[in-house]
Chains A and B, each alone.
Chain A
Amino acid sequence: EIVLTQSPATLSLSPGERATLSCRASQSVSSYLAWYQQKPGQAPRLLIYDASNRAIGVPARFSGSGSGTDFTLTISSLEPEDFAVYYCQQRSNWPLTFGGGTKVEIK
């Protein structure tokens, strides 16, 4: 099973600041990595797939990068609605697995 490790667990930032979230895989997943956003009481929402492609309707301030074992989700300038939990997910191997999540909270 491919283990995805997200860091940091919590990121405390102010609106307008840049957020950089990390996801590290226990083995190469090529570019088969996605990012999801989950707000309290809501289902997750796909943000980025294939490491760097934004899903339909996702604002341009969200960007993904990386390949192999190291990936980054960047939010260029945090909006109030961006404070949430973010998960990475790989589809390189069965079982499909998620990282433990990074909570982006208001400082």
Chain B
Amino acid sequence: QVQLVESGGGVVQPGGSLTLSCAASRFSFSSYGMHWVRQAPGRGLEWVAFIRYDGSNKYYTDSVKGRFTISRDNSKNTLSLQMNNLRAEDTAVYYCAKDFYSAALQGNWFDPWGQGTLVTVSS
């Protein structure tokens, strides 16, 4: 079955940077759009970013525009999230998730999800 494994989380100071990775396997990675979704401790879910299957378009929630960059390497089945100028409110578990439909031009449903990686922004 589909496997998504996130890595790269940790503790970072406000204003710092971090890059998250998501290793995908057991499906045709290059055929599916991918998402990042986050969940602050004890809070609900927040969609962060989406990248189309071929990397041609990227979408972000307003609070991360200009600070976060989603990217993918279809030759390595890897999704990334470069996070710059981090703020305390970015503290969360970050999940990567596969889009439900193949070759979708826009974001749809998240299925499945990885287990997440925790990012803590604190001095």
Partner of B47, one of A38, A45, A96: A96
A-B contact pairs, 27 of them (CB 8 A): A34-B110, A36-B45, A42-B115, A43-B112, A43-B113, A43-B114, A44-B45, A44-B95, A44-B113, A45-B112, A45-B113, A46-B109, A49-B109, A55-B111, A87-B45, A89-B109, A89-B110, A91-B106, A91-B107, A91-B108, A96-B47, A96-B50, A98-B46, A98-B47, A99-B44, A101-B44, A101-B45
CA distance A45 to B44 in the complex (A): 14
Contact indicator A36/B61 (Cβ below 8 Å): no
Closest-by-CB residue of A relative to B59 is: A94
Check: A95 CB closer than 8 A to any chain B CB.
Answer: yes
Contact indicator B112/A34 (Cβ below 8 Å): no
Given contacts A44-B110, A98-B46, 15 further A-B contacts (CB under 8 A): A34-B109, A36-B110, A43-B95, A43-B113, A44-B113, A45-B112, A49-B109, A49-B111, A55-B111, A87-B45, A89-B45, A91-B106, A96-B35, A96-B50, A96-B107
The interface residues of chain B lying within 8 Å CB-to-CB of A91 are 106-109
Query: What is the predominant secondary structure among interface residues of chain B facing chain A?
Result: strand
Q: How far is the CB of A62 from chain B (nearest CB, A)?
A: 15
Contact size class for B?
20 to 34
CA distance A51 to B2 in the complex (A): 24
Q: Chain A residues in contact with chain B, CB under 8 A?
A: 34, 36, 38, 42-46, 49, 55, 87, 89, 91, 94-101
